[in-house]
Amino acid sequence: MLTLKLQNLGRLFSKENYTGKKVIDPEADELILEEALKRKNHTQIKISVISTETFTDSEKEHFLDRFKEYYLHKAEELTKIGKRQDKKFFRAFQKGLIILAFIVACAIILSRLNNEFLRIIGEFSLVAGWVAMWKPFDYFIYQRNEHKQTIKACEYLTRIDMEIMHDEHMGSGV
């Protein structure tokens, strides 16, 4: 459970982004996403917001709508970024594969020669060919999965039930 204590409900939103929509304070956003990503089962996420100032039901609804709208927009943006990254790294993978195939062919040819210097050049070029493949492998094996987990967490945050309370209802325990 994540508890956010705010002076008023509007404090969670720090500024407007380029579309004119309010955005959640970056530190709060990082904290919320970190909490969401900790859990494998996103249904375990619970957010309580405690406001020290009073608020009306319409302010509460407006807050919830903006919160959900923010994470919906963030999930859409992350999805677009992911598609661009997939294309970029797929092209890099194709180029790396071509480079690797060329280098392997050269390394095989050079290794058959009796010249020790050319054989060493062939081995170095083989290592360079595998290095050309490293970035795409790193992306598709590690980064892509992390990115997809962040998108899932944002999508879940658009459906989360939040508990919003006024500080006076909490008593002395908070």
Cα–Cα distances in angstroms (integers) from residue 14 to residues 26, 125, 145, in the given order:
8, 51, 29
- Specify the pLDDT at position 79: 95
- Specify the pLDDT at position 7: 62
**Span between the terminal Cα atoms of the chain, in Å:** 14
- Specify the pLDDT at position 83: 94
Q: Which helix (H) or strand (E) holds 156?
A: helix 144-157
- Specify the pLDDT at position 86: 93
- Specify the pLDDT at position 168: 66
Phi, psi of 113 (to 5 degrees): -80, 155
- Specify the pLDDT at position 104: 83
Q: Per-residue pLDDT for the chain (174 aa), expressed as one digit of tens each?
A: 666 666 666 667 766 655 666 677 778 888 888 888 887 665 667 777 887 777 788 888 888 888 888 889 999 999 999 999 999 999 988 988 888 888 888 878 877 777 888 878 878 888 888 888 888 888 888 888 889 989 998 888 888 878 877 776 544 433
pTM higher than 0.75, yes or no?
no
